[in-house]
Structure 1
Amino acid sequence: MEDVLPASYFAPASPLPTPRTVIHSHGDPHGPSVFPGTGDLLGLHTDTDADADDASDAVSIATTPALTQDEDGTASLESRSIRSSSPTRSVYSLTSSLREQAFREVHGRSVNAHSDVYLLPADDEETRRLDAQHHMLDRLVPGILGPVDEVLREEEGKAKAVLDLGTGSAVWAIQLALQYPHVEVVGVDLAPMQTRDFPPNCRVEVDDINLGMPHFHGQFDFVHARLISSGIKDYCGLIHEIARVLRPGGMILIEEWDFRMYRSVDSHDGPNASYELAPPSTEEKPYWSALSEWLRLLGLAVRQRGGDVDAAAFVNLWIRQHGGFEDFGYQDVWIATQPHFTGKDRWARFRNELAVAMRTDTRAFLQAGMPLLRSHTDDSEYIDRLIREAEQEVVECKKHQYVRLQCTWATLKHPDR
């Protein structure tokens, strides 16, 4: 049996079968409003069809990829104006011509072709990184992710459904579908996923959630989002839209990095450690951490493209202030980027195992960020040097550094509350 960390390791909670893909267009090109009208605030809608129709009637122009058929009957992607699609599914195979239209090459990596905001790769190399990252996080954060079992338990006469936003490699969605075979699991991402087998209760749809999700209103019992902030224009508005997607009593779970590097105060490690930001780079002296400087630059690149790298710090507050949620939970999870724990107990060994996995993920992420950084600045010499120094930093293990995963969950209130 694998070891899991004791609750005391985590920081105290804040008070406050065949691969298949669905491609569709929909919604408001400006995304959900940050401050919806009073009637929409709670996200408690019983007539979901009417809501979807209203949303599509309000704004009829969108520029997401639309699935059409050429004269010879072959499915193809195009960008065109279209009203919100119905929830009825259409399943298509991803042909080579579709793949060419769904992806583009940016500085040697394949990225999605339908969003100017999200510029991290969508290729096999990134799929492998995301799979490994998932298995690391799955070992690290079991048991703190809210009342998943209660929300997804089998109930006679009730079909349960889960939506995974920014599903990436789809490994989280597939694992959940296997764990809960009575639940329908839908993953949504900007890029088609065709490189793996899906269980019969799991599928992936190609979509840009920045445009809203009126076709999903009132259809899901659990909405999950992990590490998607770099591709989200309006994260507060996304939370309001998730509230409309959930059924009453449904659960929201958001996990985000905060794009910062930390070190332990006074070099103290362990369950009761305190953390501070790793010193930034200055012109007067070299930066203490190349990783910290790389993350700072990456954050600037994400902001320039419209992503919300600061969302992690506010998600908990936004969910609490929404007014439609209850049973809140929040947890900071600190993950070492290098294996430096010296204790001989099993928890020190376990933390070092996770740190090795985080180091591997960090080195792969340094390469994954290349298209984004090179699109942000022409100083390729500086970027190359920074990445070399950051890689050397994690390999040498001289600086005890950490990243923070911020996890927030809650359930949607019932209309009578």
Structure 2
Amino acid sequence: SESQLFDYWFADVYVQVDETLKGRNKHCLDLGSAQGDWIDSTTARCAQAHFRGVDLLAPRRPPTALGSPRAMFEVMDINLGLDAYHKTYDVVHARNISQGRLKPFIQDVADCLRPGGLGVFIEWDYQIYTPEYIPFTSSTPMYDPSALNPRPLPTEQLPALSHLLRSIVRASAVAGSHIMAVSQLGVFIHGNGEFRDVNIREVWIPVVPKPNANRVEKNRAREFRSAFMTYLTSCAPLLLTQGGFTRPQLSLIEDEARVEAMGCRVPFYVRYLAVTGVKQ
């Protein structure tokens, strides 16, 4: 699963989580818990800890499949604040939140932690990179979304993917959410003043690996690639309301982006930042 892939790529982060959750009366808050996969894997390792998962949508699985009795799930909008959870948790885990109001969100997490508790923030930066970690960039839009049949210019690799990502960033900004600020995640957590021992890790994940990648790497990339494209598709409501696309135009670019990614002709990576900090 995608959660198992992250357990592998961020293994040293999750060792720190497990250490923090050792012992009695330990509590963990998972923000953006989705289907609860991360909670499932972590409850298996942390035999005494209690977990609460929070997301905008309820997990799409029957109550009998919700895993450990030490875990509960709640539907809420974390953008409205986390006042009910102040000084309650030993670990707050926030992964792939796509949070555009980063500074207030970091403060919310700090407020939820007990002294000595661990804040875990894991986000990607909405860019794609060559295997040499150089961004795929262009000074001009590769597509004109107002055109009847938008076509890419022939000069850029991965034009549809590049344009789709740029469009998500622009549409988020129109909606008042500056998701590119994640590149400053570590700076913001340092600057918050309520965390010590701040550790910033940069993790490069192949979506399409280099041709000489071994079989295990290729299998991991294939599994992640599917999740990556599912995520991009989930941005359709944002792009339709704030991005200036009609549904046919967006479908065309989504289809071409999928062909670029799933065709695996051009290797590319995404960059994640994993930042941990201990509450003062």
- Which amino acid in 2 is paired with 1:135? Q
Q: Alpha-carbon deviation of 1:217? A: 0.7
Q: Alpha-carbon deviation of 1:242? A: 1.2
Q: Could you tell me which residue of structure 1 aligns to residue 147 of structure 2? A: none
Q: Could you tell me which residue of structure 2 aligns to residue 396 of structure 1? A: 263
Matched position secondary structure for 1:199? coil
Question: Where does structure 2 lack aligned partners over 5 or more consecutive residues?
Answer: 143-152
| Pairs within 5 Å for 1:372-391 | 372-376=238-242, 377-391=244-258
Matched position secondary structure for 1:277? coil
Kindly tell me: are residues 400 and 210 of structure 1, through their superposed partners in 2, closer, same or farther at Cα, counting changes over 3 Å? same
Contact 2:113 2:279 in 1 (8 A): yes
Matched position secondary structure for 1:147? helix
- Which amino acid in 1 is paired with 2:79? N
Q: Could you tell me which residue of structure 2 aligns to residue 161 of structure 1? A: 27
Matched position secondary structure for 1:239? helix
| 1:279 maps to which of 137, 140, 154 | 137
Q: Alpha-carbon deviation of 1:218? A: 0.8
Q: Could you tell me which residue of structure 2 aligns to residue 188 of structure 1? A: 54
Q: Could you tell me which residue of structure 2 aligns to residue 173 of structure 1? A: 39
| Pairs within 5 Å for 1:87-126 | none
Output the CA distance in 2 between the equivalents of 1:220 and 1:320. Answer: 20
Q: Alpha-carbon deviation of 1:335? A: 1.2
Q: Could you tell me which residue of structure 2 aligns to residue 25 of structure 1? A: none
Output the CA distance in 2 between the equivalents of 1:133 and 1:364. Answer: 11
Q: Could you tell me which residue of structure 1 aligns to residue 6 of structure 2? A: 137
| 1:225 maps to which of 94, 98, 101 | 94
Contact 1:146 1:329 in 2 (8 A): no
Q: Alpha-carbon deviation of 1:233? A: 4.5
Contact 1:240 1:322 in 2 (8 A): yes
Kindly tell me: are residues 174 and 402 of structure 1, through their superposed partners in 2, closer, same or farther at Cα, counting changes over 3 Å? same
Contact 1:210 1:233 in 2 (8 A): no
Q: Could you tell me which residue of structure 1 aligns to residue 120 of structure 2? A: 253
Q: Could you tell me which residue of structure 1 aligns to residue 272 of structure 2? A: 405
* Residue 213, structure 1, aligned to residue 82, structure 2: yes
Q: Could you tell me which residue of structure 2 aligns to residue 328 of structure 1? A: 198
**1:18-66 deviations in Å (ceiling 9; x for gaps):** xxxxxxxxxxxxxxxxxxxxxxxxxxxxxxxxxxxxxxxxxxxxxxxxx
Output the CA distance in 1 between the equivalents of 2:271 and 2:162. Answer: 13
Q: Alpha-carbon deviation of 1:188? A: 0.9
Matched position secondary structure for 1:356? helix
Matched position secondary structure for 1:320? helix
**1:170-201 deviations in Å (ceiling 9; x for gaps):** 11122222321311100111122351423110
Q: Alpha-carbon deviation of 1:281? A: 6.6
* Residue 314, structure 1, aligned to residue 184, structure 2: yes
Q: TM-score, normalised by structure 2?
A: 0.86
- Which amino acid in 2 is paired with 1:408? V
Question: Where does structure 1 lack aligned partners over 5 or more consecutive residues?
Answer: 1-131, 266-274
Kindly tell me: are residues 182 and 236 of structure 1, through their superposed partners in 2, closer, same or farther at Cα, counting changes over 3 Å? same
Contact 1:280 1:293 in 2 (8 A): no
Kindly tell me: are residues 326 and 225 of structure 1, through their superposed partners in 2, closer, same or farther at Cα, counting changes over 3 Å? same
- Which amino acid in 1 is paired with 2:222? V
Q: Alpha-carbon deviation of 1:385? A: 2.1
Q: Alpha-carbon deviation of 1:264? A: 2.8
Greater Cα offset, 302-311 or 393-402: 302-311
Matched position secondary structure for 2:179? coil
Q: Share of identical aligned residues, percent?
A: 29
Output the CA distance in 2 between the equivalents of 1:308 and 1:166. Answer: 18
Q: Could you tell me which residue of structure 1 aligns to residue 228 of structure 2? A: 362
Output the CA distance in 2 between the equivalents of 1:210 and 1:141. Answer: 26
Output the CA distance in 2 between the equivalents of 1:303 and 1:147. Answer: 34
Kindly tell me: are residues 193 and 367 of structure 1, through their superposed partners in 2, closer, same or farther at Cα, counting changes over 3 Å? same
Matched position secondary structure for 2:11? coil
Kindly tell me: are residues 315 and 291 of structure 1, through their superposed partners in 2, closer, same or farther at Cα, counting changes over 3 Å? same
Of Structure 1 and Structure 2, the greater helix share is in 2
Kindly tell me: are residues 260 and 221 of structure 1, through their superposed partners in 2, closer, same or farther at Cα, counting changes over 3 Å? same
| 1:288 maps to which of 143, 157, 166 | 157
- Which amino acid in 2 is paired with 1:134? S
Q: Could you tell me which residue of structure 2 aligns to residue 264 of structure 1? A: 131
Contact 1:181 1:201 in 2 (8 A): no
Q: Alpha-carbon deviation of 1:394? A: 1.6
Q: Which runs of 4+ in 1 moved over 6 A?
A: none
Q: Alpha-carbon deviation of 1:380? A: 3.0
Larger Rg: 1
Kindly tell me: are residues 329 and 170 of structure 1, through their superposed partners in 2, closer, same or farther at Cα, counting changes over 3 Å? same
Output the CA distance in 2 between the equivalents of 1:322 and 1:256. Answer: 18
Output the CA distance in 2 between the equivalents of 1:220 and 1:256. Answer: 21
Output the CA distance in 1 between the equivalents of 2:100 and 2:258. Answer: 30
Output the CA distance in 1 between the equivalents of 2:176 and 2:254. Answer: 24
- Which amino acid in 1 is paired with 2:140? T
